[in-house]
């Protein structure tokens, strides 16, 4: 199963990208008070539309996207391609952390992407109590203290990628969703309860990534017939920066 993962940067945000946003995206963008959060959102929307537009043969602003929460119907949650009158050929996932923004696109299966800033301040002990299973916590505590933050982020990116692929966000109990140890090949080992996996979909396949040689990331892909995942990574900062920039 081929997955294309594209990366851009917060520094790519500029006003020339705003015409790519639909009214829902523009309203959300304008409501964000923090400039960095607003910039990451803008780059994520623009990069998604640029990539999907290339695949569909559409101008980026014309790519039909939909944000509908499966629980409340609000304009948030996982963004979906929503072509009128036919099933979507592609699924995609957006992630951002610090200065990084990423988009994964997959044809014929559901995909989730997560990246975490490796140098952000993190209380590993508190985060582990909320997010890790007993076995995951034991594996983390067996490591030297200097290695625990990086190991926790590896586990966290795997879990976040799985949740994004399934489109369930943080509604699934994190301590029950168990993945393999940081130094082991990435895999989903256990669910909170088998009924918690939406529609009994197949267990996602996981792939670990490292962005800029430092920041951990992970991709999860789930779908009938998915037996493996091939990743193509590209840096799209230049393409996003150049699009629509005014002199």
Beta strand ranges found along the chain (DSSP E): 2-9, 65-67, 79-81, 90-97, 100-107, 110-115, 178-179, 188-190, 205-211, 215-222, 230-235
Instruction: State the chain's mean pLDDT as an integer.
Output: 88
Residue 217 has which token pair? Answer: 């990331």
Q: Tens of pLDDT along 171-203?
A: 677 888 999 999 999 999 988 765 555 556 688
221 membership: H or E segment, kind and range: strand 215-222
Average pLDDT over residues 66-77: 65
Please give the pLDDT value at position 194: 55
Is residue 150 predicted with pLDDT exceeding 90? yes
247 falls in which pLDDT band (50, 70, 90)?
very low
């Amino acid at each position: 199963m081929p997955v294309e993962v594209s990366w851009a940067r917060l520094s790519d945000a500029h006003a020339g990208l705003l015409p790519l946003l639909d009214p829902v995206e523009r309203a959300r963008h304008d409501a964000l008070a923090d400039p960095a959060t607003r910039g990451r959102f803008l780059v994520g929307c623009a990069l998604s539309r640029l990539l999907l537009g290339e695949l569909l043969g559409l101008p980026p602003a014309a790519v039909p996207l939909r944000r509908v929460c499966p629980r409340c119907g609000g304009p948030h949650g996982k963004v979906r391609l929503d072509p009128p009158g036919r099933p979507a050929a592609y699924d995609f996932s957006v992630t951002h952390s610090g200065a990084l923004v990423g988009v994964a696109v997959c044809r014929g299966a559901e995909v989730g992407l997560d990246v975490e800033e490796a140098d952000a301040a993190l209380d590993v002990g508190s985060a582990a109590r909320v997010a890790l299973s007993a076995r995951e916590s034991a594996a983390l505590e067996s490591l030297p203290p200097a290695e625990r933050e990086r190991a926790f982020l590896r586990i966290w990116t795997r879990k976040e990628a799985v949740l994004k692929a399934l489109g369930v966000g943080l509604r699934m109990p994190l301590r029950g969703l168990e993945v393999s140890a940081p130094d082991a090949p990435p895999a989903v080992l256990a669910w909170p309860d088998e009924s918690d996996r939406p529609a009994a979909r197949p267990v996602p396949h996981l792939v670990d990534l490292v962005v800029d040689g430092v920041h951990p990331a992970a991709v999860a892909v789930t779908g009938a017939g998915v037996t493996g995942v091939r990743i193509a990574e590209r840096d799209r900062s230049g393409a996003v920066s150049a699009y629509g920039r005014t002199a």
